[in-house]
Amino acid sequence: MSLRISFAGRRALVLGSAVAALALTACTPPGEPSTQPPGPGTPPPPAVQEQQSGGGGQTFEGTLAQPGGQGGAFTYNPQLAPAGAQVKATVDGSEQSTVVTFTVTGLQPNRGYAAHAHVNACGPTGDAAGPHFQNQQDPAAGPGNPSSNPAYANPQNEIWLDLQTDAQGAGSSTATVPFGITGERAPKSIVVHEESNTNTGAGQAGTAGGRAACLNIQS
């Protein structure tokens, strides 16, 4: 390939290889990864939370890390939820119903974990996520007094995602609830608890022990 350029009636033949390479680089469509290696000092991409969207709803995923760092996935109990474990949530729904799928890899093998959607984002401690998200809020609950009434703390009014890991520490759970979480009022995180399943009895409904890990699911 060659490119002819006219200067004041005279024509000069310029070898097109370098120009063409520059043109191709400049015309790379937005969002397409560059094929050129990063220059010296270019920081690596963070291996932290990513958010995707598409026809299957929104997907939030991350790598568990110590609180205080970048990203939106943290461990508060590295023995039960080791740093480096992968967590992912897919949220899909409408104003009438919601389907949430929660998937983990790298947790303790052959173990149950209770997990729920919570009202606040993950923070420096597990308590930062606040109480469980409830569609119909328990009027008797409040700061320091989380809902434990089975009429409100149940898997139809909250989003429970208890799961069982396999021999490799991988597991998945799906919850389908009869309410939407679109708009401003929506859960912002999924908390993995230390107990193997969520309690359901009166006065203990919804409880599942300490908070081992957290994943942000806010848009």
Mean pLDDT of 45-65: 67
Beta bridge partners of 146: none
| Average model confidence (pLDDT) across the chain | 81
CA distance 66 to 76: 7
pLDDT in tens, 168-193: 999 999 999 999 987 678 999 999 99
* Residue the block writes with tokens 């149940």: 154
The pair of structure tokens assigned to 73 is 């996935």
Any idea what DSSP says for residue 66? -
Mean pLDDT of 48-68: 75
Q: Strand 57-63's sheet: what is its strand order?
A: 50-54, 57-63, 86-93, 98-105, 171-177
CA proximity to 217, closest of 62, 9, 77: 62
CA proximity to 130, closest of 194, 187, 183, 200: 187
* pLDDT on residue 69: 77
